Amino acid sequence: MTDETTPAPPADTQRPPQRVIVTGGDSGIGKACAVALAAPGVQVALTWHTDETGAQDAAREVEAAGATAHVRHLDLVDPAAGAVVVDDLAGVMGGVDAIVLSSGTGTATPFLDLTLEAWREVVSVDLDGAFVCMQASARHMVAGGQGGRVVAITSVHEHAPRVGAAPYCAAKGGLGLLVRTAAIELADHGITVNAVAPGEIATPMTGQEDESVMTQKR
């Protein structure tokens, strides 16, 4: 058992995680991560908010790779729901080795026209919800005593402002600093915490089709 004076061993970066949660796994980066992590013997749990069909399609791709898929609905407008779903999936899978935090939402509203309600909705999903899911999964990793991995999908807009996206930029900036802080605090438990800050991805959230650019006409 791990205690304060005996750090857990670092996560084995050469061994793929066997029990993975991907929030927002119904499309875009989340779906791509879920499919990429799928392999025989691996359990991949993915969540969806509005696109159940997309989630089921992703689950079929996961299973086609030989993995076991678990699908759950998750609405992070109520951030506390994140812990409920993570705890449920940890129970089903027998623990959590890794989580990819890919759920997100945004706005296209000028700063002066923003309502507090609209601000809170974006921050609840993109920052509060990510924190709750990160913390809940990390607690299961600590309990397992084998370390783990956390990957948060932030955005280039945690660094570069975007007009009409004040709450999104603020939330992603906060998430980036949360990742750095959590990485320091969780290191002694053998848990790595990292962020990926991509540019715009073709998904329903950005008003584009979720498809490979290689299939599009130029």
Catalytic sites, residue numbers: 168
Q: Residue 21: phi, psi to the nearest 5?
A: -115, 135
Q: In this structure, is the dihedral angle defined by the CA atoms of residues 166, 101, 77 and 79, taken in order, positive or negative?
A: negative
The amino acid occupying position 117 is E
Half-sphere exposure of 198 (CA within 13 A, CB side): 11
Distance CA(116)–CA(28), nearest Å, equals 28
Give the dihedral sign, CA 81/20/97/205.
negative
Give, in order, the Cα–Cα distances in Å from 77 to each of 21, 73, 119, 127, 194: 19, 12, 11, 10, 24
DSSP letters, 38-53, are: --TT-EEEEEESS-HH
What's the sign of the alpha-carbon dihedral 70, 94, 137, 10? Answer: negative
Nearest to 133 by CA among 169, 89, 164: 89
* Residue at token pair 């309600």: 117
